[in-house]
Structure formats: structure tokens, C-alpha cells
A and B are shown apart, each in its own frame.
Chain A
């Protein structure tokens, strides 16, 4: 019986105008999106390589003339463009994507300006996740808003239920048919997009990417299932299709625009953090205190004589200042991370946001990628400092007084660049990603289940005449 319902619904959907227009629109948007993301990715990779090469050249020349000048030279670790950006770029162009520091400390992170044009209003890339979150969710609402109330309007609901079919089966059949119809709209677009990506030759498809695409399809289906429940709810709550449409549209605007875009406001009200100016004042105060209590002669220096006794004092005060600043900054950063994460939890009310975070977990991108790199670069920098200290210990002409900013009292011998460890970004492991994904999957499945149950109860009491 269920299969019969599904077949009938699906046939109706497939013949309807709305499915045809949806299919056309989806195809166009996926095509344009694929082409533009490929063009942007190619440029981004070229720029990244060029910039890295020039930075490496500078570091190499420093290392091969004076190892200390290499150690104190500021370098930036840019997060490379990701091959799976055509699926979802997880707002990586808006989140911090550069980490800077020296061999002594990993100092800061910020958002690279890159190719962002500040004079262009904010927009989102046409990657798969955006198209699914905005267009496909709209299509789901359009396909399901009149499943119950529309049938009541055409007087066929009573006739259908006059057969020996339970209300639950009918509801569930319509639900499944909506999901299948949406997938039918989605798949051609995705295939065209994938073909364009493969043909462009810019992106190399390997096993990891295939697994990522498979999981992405899985979360897409779960997302569509969630939205379909809301469409069904709108349909069951009203007696006429018109009102259902209005409720669906209101829900859609709420999920797509209102909840994600007001998160900023709520986060400032509910989870405030210290202002940057206050943090800077605290750092200045701490530094002032250290400077005032520094032994006299701490700041005198002479480049020609590394063994000058004041250099030990200078190395000490510089280290203390840097440590004090970093301690305050890192504490503040922890509050930043927490504020961001709490705001994310708040937006889980909207399935579109949940989908965004799920896709970030599946692809190992966005915020998760940043946090992993932040940790990994700290480890790498510790390793680099260890290497430097070892090399320095081998030099008899060095007093071994480690000064984090200046070339005054550590080795000035050159070092072959090939010996120095290089940082390679490691993607998140599948296990780490799955762990993150589980939380969001749980949320969305629970959400769907509760709303579906509510819909079922309302439908059982629905007046079909």
C-alpha cells in the first residue's frame, strides 16, 4: 500500500510544472556554480603557490646566511585552497585562514584579504552546499506545501482515505515521495557539476574525495528529509493550500534568512566576550610592569659583540614580554572560540545551519580545519624551535641566550635549507570528522522525528472533508 501511494505521488510530482521549473533552475545554477568555482579555484591555487614560493625564497636566503635571522623572521602559514571547495567552501574565505609567527612563537591568526573585494557586497559562492541549502530547500517546500491541504482543496483526500489505508501510511508515503522527487531534481544538477569539475582537469579526484562526496550525499538526503517534514507540517496545520503556502514561506524565510543572520546579535547579547581594546590595555599594562621591574641595562645592546653580558638580560626581558603577551592573547582567544561555538549551537534551530555544519564536518573544512591547523602549527613550531636550539648548541661562537625577536645572542652560522623541517598541512582524519558529524546528525534526526510526530498527530485529527 505504501509503495502504491509513493508511486502515485511521485507520478503526480514528476508531471507537475513546479518540478520542471525546479529542475531547469537547479541545472542552470549548478552549471554556473561549477564553472565559476573551478575558475576561482585555479586562480587561488596559482596565487597560493606564487606567494608560498616567494616566502620560501626569503626564508631560504635567511637560513643560508644566518640561522638566527631565519628563526626570528616572521612567516605566514596560509591555509591552501581546498580541492573540495566546489562542494562547500565552509566560509573559509571569511574565517581566519592565515596563521603567523616565528620559530619561537605561534603568534596570531587573521583573515587573509586575498582576493576578497571589500567594495562588493557580501555574497556566497555557488557551491553545492549553498545551492542545496537555499534552492533545494525552497523546492522541497514547494513540492510538499500542498500535500495534504491541496488534496483537501481538490476534494480527493476524503476519497483516498475511504480506501483501506491508514493515515500514517498515507502521510509517510507522501513524505517519501517528496524526498524522492527532490532527489530527482537534485541529481542531474550534481552530475553536470561533477562532470564539469572532472573535465576541467584542475581537481584530482581520489578515494578520499569519493568518500567525501558519498557522505555529502548522505547528509543532503537527511537534510531534505528534515525540510520535507516541515513542509508536511505546514500542509497539515492549515485547511487550505494558500495558508499552507504562506506558512511554508514563513518557515523557509525563518530558516534561511532570519535565524542564521540574527545569530550575531544574539551572540553579543548572550555570550559576550572582552573587547579587544580591554585586552590590549591589559597587555600594555603587563608589559609596562615587566619593563619597570627589569634589571638596569636590559635594553642596551651591541650587535658586534654577542657575548656582551647585557644581551642575556635583553633576551630574558624579550622572552618575558612575549610570554606575557601570548598568555593574555591565548586566554582571550579561548573565549573567542567558545563564543563562536556557542553561537553555532544557538543557530541549530535552523536546519540550514545544521546542514552547513554537517557539511563542514564531512569535508573537514572551515572552522574545524582552522582549529586543527592552529594546533598542528603549534606542534610544528615547537619542533622547529627544538631543531634551532640543537643547531645553536653546536656553535661555540654563540652565548645560547635565546632572544625571540633579535639576532643578538644566538648562532649566526648558516644552515642548509633542506635540513630544516617544513610544515605540511594534514587534513582531518575520517574518524575526527565522523565524531563531529555525529552530534549534528543526532540533532537533525531528533528534530525531524519530533516534528514528524507532531505532524502525524495533527493529521490524525485532520478534517478531510
Chain B
């Protein structure tokens, strides 16, 4: 009997306008969003290729003070289905000695133009959440009240049939009508992805798609139960649809914004500027210590006659300076570089506090989102696709651990105390400053003092006397560093199982509440006046 009712409802539904409009909406919107997402993903991939080449270049250095590897995270193919936060966060991290990585950098390609931030983008999961919930409500709002108004409900009950069988039959009828729509949307997306020449999904990714499909069914079931409950409590269809629509707009549009807005107002976070100001104080303290060192240990005179290069985080590279200068910097680095690592540790205390506040805010928003099933759906989908906050934390942790490995490598090989931290010139080729002057001026001046006195004359420039440079002062003379024994960064992907474990409570919540609502609908339907 249940099956008969289900088939009857199924046939009726197929002929209604709502089925046609719903199906057409899915037919046009789903492929469109998949194309849009594939487009974004492709630009992510091309941006990643460039970053990866940069990361490889960052390992082609000649001195250890320039060895600050760039670590990149490949794009997640499943972001085509669920974007999550993958477009808010970066995908590359530079390993600095003086700072632990706070956030990943790198603008994701869709923001080539920073003004385009003002436009949001939709993904597959958002459209599914919107359309599926709406369709579920549109087909169930008049399950009880519609038949009652047509006068056919009392005729059904004039037969010897249990109320629960009628309810079950009608629910199955709605499922039969709409399940193909969900299946069709998924199959269409999968087809587009399969046919696309540049995309490749591995088997784990297809399993994730399957899990996403099951999640969609669960989410869909929730709204069917909701529609059923409202329909069984209300006598007229027009009231029922109004209530359903208000629930829909509140759950899908208002509550997600409400919860995020409340979370950001209730949990205070620090502004990034203030954090940077605090960190700058530490940086200044460090620079002062370095200044104090240079004041108490004066630099040898003479300067650099080959080349000199320097930069952030202790980068220094030069050639063509006196042996004294080389020795000076070698001892200085033994003082400054461990201080630099300590600086990073001191700053990390503040950075961690900042990150903890952000995480607390995010957790509060997650808890509040239990009020909105569509928000739970989206959060779970992004957890399963590896595009949520947990996946990003996983990547950043790997980067921080790699940095520790690199520092240990430097310390084990005692690199800070070696010349190769800042120069490739072998110690046997070091000259005194007078020897350098003699070489460079081709014997015209024998000491630095003589050269200095000549430069006192008006209208003389050093360029008149600088005749030649030694070949072994040229940067390109030396090969790149051999990093075969150095730690390598191997990115470990955030797996599906982690995502499932993280979102288990949310999925369970959806199922329990759906079952509860179905039960309440059944109880109401038992007392329903069928006349």
C-alpha cells in the first residue's frame, strides 16, 4: 500500500509546474556553477605552477644566509565542489629564521584585481544547498494540507490504512520525485569533470564525491522532514507555504550571516595592525641588540670590492673584502643568528595568542551555525573537500615543523659559524685590504691609505682607479649549494578520513534532528483532521 501511494504521488508531482521549474533550474545552474568553479580552479593551478617554480628557485642559492625555502600547497581539486575558505587563504609560506609562519601568503588567482574581492562567488555546494532545500520545501509543504483541500485525504482514509503508512508513502513519493534531480545534478557535474581534458580526479577524490552525495541526501532529508512537520501542523496550504518560505530564507540567508556577525562581535580578536606593531617592537629590540654589537665590535675598514648583497632575515653575500672582514662577519653571525631564532620564539607567543583568538571566533561561529542546517551542510562539505580551516591549519603546521627541521640542520652542521653562510670565496684566497687595493688598481696604489689620500683631491672618483676585479669575486663563478642532505618539504594531503572525523558531530546532528522532526510530524498527523 505504501508503494502505491508513493507511485501515485510521484506521477502527480511529475506533471506539476514546480517539478519542471525545479528541474530546469538545476539543469542550467549546476553546469554553470561547475564551469565557473573549474575556471577558478584552472587559474589556481596555473598560479600554483608559477609558485612551484619560484619554490624551486628559492633552493638555488649560493650561500646559506639566502636559504629560505618557499613551501607551496597544491590546489585541492575538490574545491570545484566546495570552495570553503580556500579562496580566502594563501598557499605559500616562506621559511624565515626570524619569524614563524603566521598565515600563508600568495593571492589566489581570482584576486588579480583586488577590487574584485567585492564580488562573491558561488560553488556547487552553495547552489545545491539553496535549490535542494527550496525544492524539498516546495514539494512537502502541501503533503497533508494540499490533499485535505482537494478533498481526497478523507477518501484515502475511508480505506483501511494506517496513518503512518500514508505518511511514509507520501514521503517516499517526494523522495522518488526529487532524488533523481540530485542524482542528475551530481552525474552531470561528474560528466563535465570527466570530459574536461585538464582535470584529473584520483580515486580518493571520487570517494569524497560519493560521500558528498550522501551528505546532500541527508541535508535534503532534513528539509523534507521540516516541510512535513509544518504541513502536518497547519490546516491550509497557503499558510504552510508562507511559514516554509520564511524558514527557508531565515535558515539559508539570514542565520549564516547572523551567526558569523555575532561570532565576530562576541569574540574579540586583535587587529592585524596591532599584532604587527607589537611584533615590530620585538624586531626593533633585536635590531638594537645587533647595533650594540656593531658599536662594541667595530667593523674592519675597507669595504667590498667585488660585490655586496644583503636583505631580510640575515641575508648577506659578498666577495672581494679583506680576510679581516670575512672573519668579522663570521663571528658576528654566531651571535646574531641564534638571537634571530630566539626572536622568532618570542614573537610566536603573541602570534599564537592572535591565532587562538581567531580560532575561538571560528569555533563560536560553528557552534552557532547549528541553528542553520544549510550552514552545517556547507561546513561539512568543505571539511570533506579539504577546503576548510582544519585543512589550512594542517598545512601551516607542516610548514612550521619543516622550519624546525631546517633550523636543526643549520645548528647540527654549525652553519652560522661557517664562512659559507655568507660567501663562496674559499679562505685560502682571502687577501688583506692593502693587497686588494694593489690588485684592483693594478699596482698604482699599494695601500688603502694612499688610495684614500688620492681620493681627497677634488673631482676624483673611485671609478678612475678601479681597473679590474678578480674572477673569483664573481657570484656566478660558484655553483649552487648542495642541499642533498638538507631537509625536504613533502606536503601531506589532508585526507578524507580526517574530514569525516571532524564533521561527524554535525552529520549526526542533522540525522537526529530530521528523525525527530519526522516523528513529530507523525504524531501531529495522527491527530490531523482530514475533513
Least CB distance, B15 to chain A, in whole angstroms? 13
Judging by beta carbons under 8 Å apart, are A134 and B254 in contact?
yes
Judging by beta carbons under 8 Å apart, are B118 and A112 in contact?
no
A43 at the B interface (CB under 8 A): yes
Judging by beta carbons under 8 Å apart, are B260 and A121 in contact?
yes
| Residues of chain A in range 92-134 having any CB-CB distance to chain B below 8 Å | 94-96, 109-115, 117-126, 130, 134
Judging by beta carbons under 8 Å apart, are B362 and A18 in contact?
no
Judging by beta carbons under 8 Å apart, are A142 and B39 in contact?
no
Least CB distance, B513 to chain A, in whole angstroms? 21
A296 at the B interface (CB under 8 A): yes
Judging by beta carbons under 8 Å apart, are A126 and B257 in contact?
yes
Closest residue to B120 on the A side, CB-wise? A261
Judging by beta carbons under 8 Å apart, are B32 and A95 in contact?
no
Judging by beta carbons under 8 Å apart, are A300 and B392 in contact?
no
Query: If A47-B273, A264-B116 touch, does A297 touch B359 (CB 8 Å cutoff)?
Result: no
Q: Which of A32, A33, A96, A267 contacts B114 (CB 8 A)?
A: A96
Judging by beta carbons under 8 Å apart, are A277 and B50 in contact?
yes
Give the secondary structure class of B's interface.
helix
| Residues of chain B in range 104-133 having any CB-CB distance to chain A below 8 Å | 107, 110, 112-122, 126, 130
Judging by beta carbons under 8 Å apart, are B358 and A117 in contact?
yes
Report the separation of the CA atoms of residues A25 and B247 in the bound assembly, to the nearest whole angstrom. Answer: 10
Closest residue to B29 on the A side, CB-wise? A258
Q: Mark B183-194, 1 if CB is under 8 A from A, else 0.
A: 000000000000
Least CB distance, A135 to chain B, in whole angstroms? 7
Judging by beta carbons under 8 Å apart, are B114 and A110 in contact?
yes
Listed residue (A36, A109, A273, A296) with the most chain B CB atoms within 10 angstroms of its CB: A36
Report the separation of the CA atoms of residues A95 and B263 in the bound assembly, to the nearest whole angstrom. Answer: 22
Number of A positions contacting B (CB below 8 A): 81
Report the separation of the CA atoms of residues A138 and B29 in the bound assembly, to the nearest whole angstrom. Answer: 21
Closest residue to A347 on the B side, CB-wise? B119
A residues less than 8 Å from B277 (CB atoms): 51, 54
A428 at the B interface (CB under 8 A): no
Least CB distance, A29 to chain B, in whole angstroms? 6
Query: If A32-B258, A51-B274, A134-B253 touch, does A120 touch B118 (CB 8 Å cutoff)?
Result: no
Binds A, one of B209-217, B237-245, B519-527: B237-245
Judging by beta carbons under 8 Å apart, are A246 and B138 in contact?
yes
Query: If A112-B272, A246-B17 touch, does A94 touch B264 (CB 8 Å cutoff)?
Result: no
Closest residue to A134 on the B side, CB-wise? B253
Binds B, one of A202-210, A334-342, A429-437: A334-342
Name the interface size band of chain B: 35 or more
A80 at the B interface (CB under 8 A): no
A residues less than 8 Å from B153 (CB atoms): none
A39 at the B interface (CB under 8 A): yes
B14 at the A interface (CB under 8 A): no
A253 at the B interface (CB under 8 A): yes
Query: If A33-B261, A257-B130 touch, does A273 touch B113 (CB 8 Å cutoff)?
Result: yes
Closest residue to A340 on the B side, CB-wise? B115
B residues less than 8 Å from A117 (CB atoms): 264, 269, 358, 361-362
Judging by beta carbons under 8 Å apart, are A121 and B85 in contact?
yes
Judging by beta carbons under 8 Å apart, are A119 and B358 in contact?
yes
Judging by beta carbons under 8 Å apart, are B268 and A43 in contact?
yes
Q: Which of A113, A119, A262, A337 contacts B272 (CB 8 A)?
A: A113
Judging by beta carbons under 8 Å apart, are B273 and A36 in contact?
no
Q: Which of B121, B134, B238 contacts A249 (CB 8 A)?
A: B134
B residues less than 8 Å from A40 (CB atoms): 264-265
9 smallest CB-CB distances across A and B, nearest first, come from: A123-B260, A113-B272, A119-B389, A340-B115, A47-B271, A36-B265, A94-B117, A261-B122, A265-B36
Q: Which positions in B face A, CB cutoff 8 Å? A: 17-18, 21, 25, 29, 32, 35-36, 39, 43, 50, 84-85, 88-89, 103, 107, 110, 112-122, 126, 130, 134, 138, 238-239, 241-243, 245-246, 249-250, 253-254, 256-258, 260-265, 268-274, 277, 358-359, 361-362, 365, 378-379, 382, 389, 392, 459, 461-463
Q: Could you write out 17 A-B pairs with CB less than 8 Å apart? A: A36-B264, A95-B118, A110-B114, A111-B114, A117-B362, A118-B89, A121-B85, A125-B257, A246-B21, A249-B245, A256-B253, A257-B130, A261-B120, A262-B121, A264-B110, A267-B116, A268-B110
12 extra interchain contacts, Cβ-Cβ under 8 A, other than A261-B119, A300-B462, A310-B461? A91-B118, A96-B115, A117-B361, A120-B263, A121-B84, A121-B260, A135-B249, A264-B119, A297-B461, A309-B459, A337-B115, A367-B115
Q: Which positions in A face B, CB cutoff 8 Å? A: 17-18, 21-22, 25, 29, 32-33, 35-36, 39-40, 43, 47, 50-51, 54, 78, 91, 94-96, 109-115, 117-126, 130, 134-135, 138, 142, 241-243, 245-247, 249-250, 253, 256-258, 260-265, 267-268, 273, 275-277, 296-297, 300, 309-310, 336-337, 339-340, 343, 347, 366-367
